Structure 1
Amino acid sequence: MTEASGYVAQFRQHWPQYAIEAAGLGAFMLVAALVDTALESHRFPLHVLVASALLRRALMGVAMGGTAVALIYSPWGARSGAHFNPALTLTYALLGKIGRFDAAMYACAQFAGGAAGVLLAHLLAGPALAEAPVSFAVTVPGSCGVGVAFGMEMLISAMLMGASLYASNQVRLMRYTGLICGVLIALFVTFEAPFSGMSMNPARSVGSALPSGIWTAMWLYFTAPIMGMGLGALVYRATGPAVVACAKLNHDTDAPCPFRCHFTARGIHVPSLIRGAESELAKLDKRIRGR
């Protein structure tokens, strides 16, 4: 089999996951754009009724965190791994959990889905989404400047990646990985958004920049999330277990996994099983030596 035919076979096998990644980020951006319009547009009464900018960001955070949780725990998110973010996919590729072709297709799907979600929101919301201050929910550095925005984007990206890796590789926490990610997203939208717009996701930022024409410091929204998530993974590998079980945030054992996975068909976490066996062997060895 040639390399090209191998890629064709891989595409035929994994195209549903690619489609899910596109649809997932599209749904996330659709909700983000519509909620942002409802809260910030002067055409709607919520902007007046909720006078506090902090409270409006908190409401936005709850909406986006809740959307992320719903997508991660949905049957579709469980099948694709619920990345919806090229920076996350690239980090898992660097960790050796996803192949280069799958990573590239995931990223292409995510960029396409993000743009489609914003365009669909524009069809539904009309001019209110395009007008300032909404401007297609574009992400731009805040009043503190590009340097602070870069640092904050890198920090929150590292926190999200580190938390998701830690939770998804602990037997007692793995079922809560999606919830932990959702809570972090809600907190970041509420408190970090004034510094950078809270992206953590190149496809999310490009999806808003394309229709708005606002590309301010776009390099930041590519480099900071990738560097931050890479840093989060490095810290995790330096302080946590050597094995990353899978690239899925919510593992579904009912469908074939497209990643280099350490779960069995019955959902058994193999690294934990090995560690448990090693622990029992160590105890047995101590008993034998003590006799």
Structure 2
Amino acid sequence: MSFSARMLAALRRHWPYYLAEAAGIAFFVVCAGSLTMLLEHPASPVRQALQTNDLARHMLLGAGMVLVIVCIVYSPWGKRSGAHINPAVTLAFWHLGKVRTPDAVWYVLGQVAGAIGAGQLMKFVFGELYAHPTVNYTVTQPVGLPRGEALAFGAEFIISFIMMGVLLFALHSKRLKNLTGWLIGALLAVYIVVETPYSGMSLNPARTLGTALAADSYRGLWVYWVAPPLAMWLVTVLFRRFYHGEALDCAVLAGCGPGISSPHTPEEEPPVYPDENGE
């Protein structure tokens, strides 16, 4: 079977999974934009109440995004697709053999489409509120320094490396795998408070592209499409080396095994699907 035929076959059978990925990242972009407007726009009562307390606003944003991540990961749709919502995460799991190639391609396309659609929706609905310099479409860009792109690359590489390391360690642990979504959410909150000044704290190529298109501003875009995937790929290489090829149960951020709200059966190991021959 040709690759294009495999792609079409995967789309016919697994489109709900791809739609779940698109919806997941769209929800993330919408929530990030909404929370940023609430906490940073000068007209917001929260911004006025915390006028000079930047740390408090960043901590509130971090706490809010923890809840967003947890909602995505542990929702029925998140459990259905695995809640990657990030091309770098999907590519890492693909490298580990947990996502088949046609599914990985559709996952990435769904993630990009969801992020772009959400960015355009926020721009259409909120207009000048979303465009205000204190919000700036929630774009992630390098700082305006002579070596700003190099700094952003290093920062994105480090935070992506740590996140994927925590993710794989947790999913490999019987004790922690069901808490993976909470761990990733907590890590994201720390990044928002600590790392944002260096790169805008992206971790996610699709999320950065979606907001860049909304803002029509593409400075340093390559950083966010190279550093996170490269860092997460390196973690998968090290994972295979240190765990001597010992495989993960699956690539679902909520942990493996069906729960009450999970659509999966015990025999199914999402998001690795059987091929047409049932293999």
* Alpha-carbon displacement from aligned partner over 1:198-231 (angstroms, at most 9, x marks no partner): 0000000001000101111000011110111112
Higher mean alpha-carbon deviation, 115-124 vs 35-44, is at 115-124
Deviation at 1:23, TM superposition (A): 0.4
2:271 corresponds to which residue? 259
Matching of residues 163-178 of structure 1 within 5 Å:
163-178=166-181
* Alpha-carbon displacement from aligned partner over 1:226-273 (angstroms, at most 9, x marks no partner): 111112223333333621221111235342444348xxxxxxxxxxxx
2:277 corresponds to which residue? none
TM-score by length of 1: 0.85
2:202 corresponds to which residue? 199
* Contact 1:37 1:125 (C-alpha < 8 Å) held by counterparts: no
Distance 1:63 1:119 in 2: 22
1:40 counterpart = 2:43: no
* Contact 1:157 1:229 (C-alpha < 8 Å) held by counterparts: yes
- Structure 2, unpaired ranges of 5+: 274-279
The one-letter amino acid of 2:42's match is H
Distance 1:122 1:7 in 2: 32
Distance 1:205 1:14 in 2: 26
The one-letter amino acid of 1:18's match is Y
CA shift in 2, pair 1:155/1:3, >3 Å: closer
Pairs aligned (count): 261
The one-letter amino acid of 2:85's match is F
Q: What percentage of residue pairs aligned between the two structures are identical?
A: 36
CA shift in 2, pair 1:192/1:80, >3 Å: same
Q: Stretches of 4+ moved more than 6 A in 1? A: none
* Contact 2:29 2:207 (C-alpha < 8 Å) held by counterparts: yes
Distance 2:73 2:177 in 1: 12
Distance 1:128 1:108 in 2: 29
Deviation at 1:3, TM superposition (A): 4.6
The one-letter amino acid of 1:136's match is Y
* Contact 1:21 1:110 (C-alpha < 8 Å) held by counterparts: yes
TM-score by length of 2: 0.88
Distance 2:200 2:243 in 1: 31
Distance 1:147 1:2 in 2: 41
CA shift in 2, pair 1:7/1:258, >3 Å: farther
1:233 corresponds to which residue? 236
1:158 counterpart (125, 145, 161): 161
* Contact 2:123 2:214 (C-alpha < 8 Å) held by counterparts: no
The one-letter amino acid of 1:169's match is H
1:187 counterpart = 2:190: yes
1:289 corresponds to which residue? none
2:122 corresponds to which residue? 121
CA shift in 2, pair 1:28/1:252, >3 Å: farther
Across the aligned residues of Structure 1 and Structure 2, the Cα RMSD in angstroms comes to 1.7
Deviation at 1:91, TM superposition (A): 0.9
CA shift in 2, pair 1:2/1:72, >3 Å: same
